Amino acid sequence: MPPSVIRPVRLAGRLVLALAAIAGLVVLFLALIVLTDGAGSGIPAWLTTLGIATVAAVWWGRRRTWPTRLVPFLPVVVAAALTASVCIPTVPTTRQYPPDLPFVATQHWSLATGSRVAVYHYPPANTGTRHPVPFVYINGGPVRGISVLDHRFLQLLARQGYDVYAYEQAGGGRSNLLPMDQYTVSRSVRDLAAFVDRLGKGRVDILGFSSGGVVLTRALADPRVAARLHRAIIAEPGPMDGPTARIAGHKGRPSARGLAPAMTGPRSTHVPRYAVALGLMRLGLLTPDTGLIGQAEGDNAFTAADLGSDTASNYCARDARRIPVEDTEQNFSFSPAASLRVQQTVKESPSIAPQLSRSRTPAMLMIAECSSQVRQWATAILGKDPAIQRTQYMPGVGHRMWNGLDDNNNRAAAIVTAFLEDKPAPLPNYPTRSEIPTFLRGHK
């Protein structure tokens, strides 16, 4: 083989070996991150990787002449630089709360549970009809700020004479953080009871959406908490307990997932530190209270664009090209670690079906046609709660039923207010308990 060919082949071979060495060191570093649960912001894992790599480089170059002894250190330097980026914060490590909204005052209430939550109040408009029972909204997340879309829907209810209150669950939005081990679905239920007590206006009507619907369902299964509730609306719930969470069923009609344009804007997952931390947490390889990034840092880093196709899955396929902006960049807030922790406690919880079967609080279930939720999550509640008086299957919308498109907000408000005022339902009562098997077989 002529020298003109041998030299490029040797160079390519050395380059491949160098890249393999770099990749091996990165994999070693990630393995150590997992084994140590990211202790010390990943620095112990980084130092260990650097030490092993340095010893290997010294051994590899021991028989070489002095200048060439430095060659094995080149992959070490590159790998050290790549992995060091996982250990260096690029956002503040203390919580940076969203600024107050311009259209509603933010109150901060200390609850008997120890939680300090952000509260929003929309008094009833000066209309002829005022409803005497306060209305409380629990948003989804589970640990997420209330979006501007939600605020607009709450304003609509207030204009119809309802005294509307909403609070961001502990750790979400402008509410204070909790120690990671205190984020549990049981704590969320206790916070709900404490919020109603702090409100001090007797029993309340309540709407729980998505994971907020899970909190509400579990509250209905607890007689001590249910005694504080006048009427309950469970909208697009997640799994109510561990057995329900393990159900592998179908979802609603096709959503816009995979059809909508990709979300724009900065992503924390484009930064190595947060891509590694949040990715490994989502895979279950790091715990929510990992030492790699703190809760506050993760909250500060996470952006709306990080939700990716999860947002599109909340809308029908037909709406893929007109998905509204759900929130402002300044108001958006999501706590990935705390949300995973709450979801884990739901998955680990025993069945609440026996307790829910004794519920007596009048309730309504709302289901979306293009729901991204497993259908059995909703039908399990319908089948076990004898106090559910009506089910409203809402056509033409996805998981986020009040979304500002067309007349969807007004339609959702009409369903909510009809139930609260004990008026005829705008839609057929469907599915009923007896229709659950047919509903599921039809993949509705």
DSSP one-letter string for 227-286: TTEEEEEEES---SSHHHHT-----SS-BSTTTSPPPPS--GGGSHHHHHHHHHHHTTSS
Q: How confident is the model at residue 15 (pLDDT cuts 50, 70, 90)?
A: low
Torsion from C-alpha of 113, 115, 118, 119, nearest 10 degrees: 0
Q: What are phi and psi of 341, to 5 degrees?
A: -65, -45
Question: What does pTM read for this prediction?
Answer: 0.92
Compute the C-alpha angle 245/210/352, nearest 5°.
Answer: 45
Chain-centroid distance of CA 384 in Å reads 26
Q: What is the pLDDT of residue 191?
A: 98
Q: What is the mean pLDDT of residues 305-333?
A: 93
Q: What is the mean pLDDT of residues 385-391?
A: 97
Chain-centroid distance of CA 240 in Å reads 16
Other CB atoms within 10 Å distance of the CB of residue 388 = 23
Which residue reads 């509204």 in tokens?
A: 324
Distance from C-alpha of 116 to C-alpha of 193, rounded to nearest angstrom: 14
Structure confidence by residue, pLDDT tens digits, 34-88: 999 999 999 999 999 989 888 887 776 666 666 666 666 788 888 889 999 999 9
CA atoms within 13 A on the CB side of 42: 26
Distance from C-alpha of 355 to C-alpha of 350, rounded to nearest angstrom: 11
Q: Is the distance from CB of 142 to CB of 170 less than 8 angstroms?
A: no
Residue 7 in this model has a pLDDT that exceeds 70: no
Q: What is the pLDDT of residue 410?
A: 97
Contacts of 194 (CB under 8 A, 6+ apart): 111, 112, 113, 115
Q: What is the pLDDT of residue 201?
A: 96
Q: What is the pLDDT of residue 309?
A: 85
By C-alpha distance, which of 93, 105, 80 is closest to 21?
80
Contacts of 121 (CB under 8 A, 6+ apart): 104, 105, 107, 164, 165
Structure confidence by residue, pLDDT tens digits, 171-208: 999 999 999 999 999 999 999 999 999 999 999 999 99
Structure confidence by residue, pLDDT tens digits, 106-116: 999 999 999 99
Q: State the DSSP H helix or E strand holding residue 76, giving kind and residue range, or none if neither.
A: helix 73-84
Q: What is the pLDDT of residue 14?
A: 57
Is-cis flag, bond preceding 44, omega within 30? Answer: no
Q: What are phi and psi of 311, to 5 degrees?
A: -65, -45
Q: How confident is the model at residue 10 (pLDDT cuts 50, 70, 90)?
A: low
Q: How confident is the model at residue 9 (pLDDT cuts 50, 70, 90)?
A: very low
Tokens of 111: 């609850």
Residue 2 in this model has a pLDDT that exceeds 60: no
Q: Is the distance from CB of 319 to CB of 400 less than 8 angstroms?
A: no
Q: Is the distance from CB of 326 to CB of 313 less than 8 angstroms?
A: no
Mean pLDDT computed over every residue of the chain = 92
Q: What is the mean pLDDT of residues 273-277?
A: 95
By C-alpha distance, which of 434, 414, 103, 378 is closest to 239?
378
Residue 439 in this model has a pLDDT that exceeds 90: yes
End-to-end, the C-alpha distance of the chain in Å comes to 68
Task: Classify domain 107-441 at the CATH topology level.
Answer: Rossmann fold (3.40.50)
The three-state secondary structure class of 106 is coil
Q: What is the mean pLDDT of residues 305-320?
A: 92
Of the given ranges (61-70, 139-148, 288-297), which has the lowest mean pLDDT? 61-70
DSSP β-bridge partners for residue 367: 393
Residue 265 in this model has a pLDDT that exceeds 90: no
Percent helix / strand / coil, the chain, rounded to 5: 45, 15, 40
Alpha helices by DSSP H, 283-335: 295-301, 309-312
Residue 4 in this model has a pLDDT that exceeds 60: no
Q: What is the pLDDT of residue 71?
A: 65
Residue 349 in this model has a pLDDT that exceeds 90: yes
Percent of the chain with pLDDT over 90: 80
Chain-centroid distance of CA 95 in Å reads 18
Distance from C-alpha of 418 to C-alpha of 251, rounded to nearest angstrom: 27
Residue 294 in this model has a pLDDT that exceeds 70: yes
Q: What is the pLDDT of residue 64?
A: 64
